[in-house]
Chains A and B, each alone.
Chain A
């Protein structure tokens, strides 16, 4: 059974916004591991439960090095992206106007 990120990844790739760049970035997400957070005495640490921090950092660096290379995205990135894309999917395109600032 596919884990949630993999299912989402598969669904995303079948969507109309699928493209090569995203396939190459997101497909390795299935290999990603869990992130666990500790909060001890107010000082916050984040560590992977079965991968070393340094390895996770390297994943992040690879992911960002060109945004097109094959890389493992930390699962937390996947979760954040999944949330943002889900919210973005609720925004209807309203046309060409854009006037974000109130005028006095």
Chain B
């Protein structure tokens, strides 16, 4: 296999094959990643902690297994890093906060970290994020913003901003993020990479700091679809430590199915999902829809209510989680986050109950849609990455607050837990994201379509130096 000139540019799949073939050692791969982090993290501010000693020890263990002719795991030698709401043994799980600087170090790894390292992946560290995951921008008042690898004056997106910047900037080929309302998909779109938000209940959330239990998902971010599938396959499976993780969900061999080319019935979502923001956002989605042979522009009733309900559930559950800490130490919170949590604490309960009931109705409506279609296409965000500190955005011709509106296209989908791959489409060197939305438990459909788009050159993750 031909490897990139700089090993740090190697994808996860390239890394696995090169190590298995004896072309490179896991230590060489880890050191290349560490050198890249040292060189570029000052600009990107993606890492809050680099676990150098752990990474080299894990890499050396892979090399020792290789020398002893023992079997290697499916992710042998792949460097990865995680949003800092994932537990990493011996490290404080900050969840982007100042408050949790007082927390004890995590006694063990989060379940998904355990599954990746069981597959012999190599842990590079913890990544920056918005405070307690309550943001779409990737900015953080305590640790500074994660910066966009394609233009550091712009947002990386949030709340998994460090996860997006680290992968988009080539610091690691693979990262993990969380997505409550779009926090994997938004930074994937802004940073020009691929991101998978699996079905709600697919991947265990044990050992991660929660935000909104009803809506929290975890998933991988990478520069290739094969890397997403490789990581996703390694992380699937029931976990009694997360009651939401569905023990009955059958394993989806997404990596194996990438090369299959089933005839898909595809629709481009219109209505709510068209024309709210930058025209280039719609153009990107149209381009993808056309490439997948979309047969119609589909308008779905109730999307606005779904988005509103997601907003309310987030506000209330987030407030419930943090109320005691906000009461005790409001000065430790980002004032913007604190104000949202205060508002959530004041929301009448009736609205929360109605919002939860709305999920069933919208699920049923979408289930009907998936009787006619296998895949739906929509923009990920209505805009490309805004400038850091931007306060407003033009939507529907009107200037509106930026922060509550970045996720208008992602919230209705995560609201009912559907699996989505966000794919990067470029317009004049600026990345836009396009959501490929599949029926529940069919991540393989979204990944397969994304792989087709990547192979066809329609969706590509560029490095910040312009090389693919």
**Chain A residues in the interface with B (C-beta under 8 A):** 17, 22, 25-26, 35, 37, 39, 41-46, 56-57, 60-61, 63-65, 67, 73-74, 76-81, 83-85, 87-88, 90-104
Q: Are B246 and A104 in contact (CB under 8 A)?
A: yes
A50 → chain B, closest Cβ, in Å?
16
User: Which residues of chain B have C-beta atoms less than 8 A from A37's C-beta?
Assistant: 336, 391
Evaluate whether A93 and B200 lie within 8 angstroms (CB atoms) in the complex, with A63-B342, A64-B327 already known: no
Q: How many residues of B contact A (CB 8 A)?
A: 62
Q: Pick from A79, A85, A96, A97: contact of B347, CB below 8 A.
A: A85
Q: Are A91 and B358 in contact (CB under 8 A)?
A: yes
**Apart from A44-B389, A98-B353, A98-B360, what 9 extra A-B contacts exist at CB < 8 Å?**
A37-B336, A42-B147, A60-B338, A77-B342, A78-B343, A80-B340, A91-B305, A93-B354, A99-B359
Q: Are A95 and B440 in contact (CB under 8 A)?
A: no
B360 → chain A, closest Cβ, in Å?
5
Q: Are A64 and B417 in contact (CB under 8 A)?
A: no
Evaluate whether A42 and B388 lie within 8 angstroms (CB atoms) in the complex, with A85-B347, A88-B354, A97-B360 already known: yes
**Contact string, B278-296, partner A, CB cutoff 8 A, digits 1/0?**
0000000000000000000
**Contact string, B231-264, partner A, CB cutoff 8 A, digits 1/0?**
0000000000000101011100000000000000
Q: Are B351 and A104 in contact (CB under 8 A)?
A: no
Closest to B348 in A: A17
**Contact string, B318-344, partner A, CB cutoff 8 A, digits 1/0?**
000001001100110011101110111
User: Which residues of chain A have C-beta atoms less than 8 A from B351's C-beta?
Assistant: 84-85, 88, 91
Complexed CA–CA distance, A3 and B30 (Å): 58
Complexed CA–CA distance, A25 and B347 (Å): 12
User: Which residues of chain B have C-beta atoms less than 8 A from A77's C-beta?
Assistant: 339, 342-343, 346
**Chain B residues in the interface with A (C-beta under 8 A):** 45, 139-141, 144-145, 147, 199-201, 214, 244, 246, 248-250, 304-305, 307-309, 311-312, 315, 323, 326-327, 330-331, 334-336, 338-340, 342-348, 350-351, 353-361, 363, 388-389, 391, 404, 416-417, 440-441
A7 → chain B, closest Cβ, in Å?
18
Evaluate whether A76 and B311 lie within 8 angstroms (CB atoms) in the complex, with A42-B147, A81-B347, A101-B244 already known: no
User: Which residues of chain A have C-beta atoms less than 8 A from B323's C-beta?
Assistant: 64
User: Which residues of chain A have C-beta atoms less than 8 A from B139's C-beta?
Assistant: 39, 42, 44
Complexed CA–CA distance, A63 and B361 (Å): 35
Evaluate whether A102 and B336 lie within 8 angstroms (CB atoms) in the complex, with A84-B343, A91-B354 already known: no
Q: Are A91 and B346 in contact (CB under 8 A)?
A: no
Contact residues of A: prevailing secondary structure: mixed
User: Which residues of chain B have C-beta atoms less than 8 A from A60's C-beta?
Assistant: 326, 330, 338, 342
Evaluate whether A42 and B249 lie within 8 angstroms (CB atoms) in the complex, with A81-B346, A90-B308 already known: no
User: Which residues of chain B have C-beta atoms less than 8 A from A57's C-beta?
Assistant: 330-331
Evaluate whether A39 and B357 lie within 8 angstroms (CB atoms) in the complex, with A88-B351, A91-B351 already known: no
Complexed CA–CA distance, A95 and B354 (Å): 8
User: Which residues of chain A have C-beta atoms less than 8 A from B389's C-beta?
Assistant: 39, 44
Evaluate whether A104 and B345 lie within 8 angstroms (CB atoms) in the complex, with A35-B335, A61-B330, A76-B335 already known: no
User: Which residues of chain B have C-beta atoms less than 8 A from A78's C-beta?
Assistant: 343
**11 pairs, A vs B, C-beta closer than 8 Å:** A43-B141, A46-B336, A60-B342, A76-B336, A81-B347, A92-B358, A95-B357, A99-B359, A100-B417, A101-B201, A104-B249
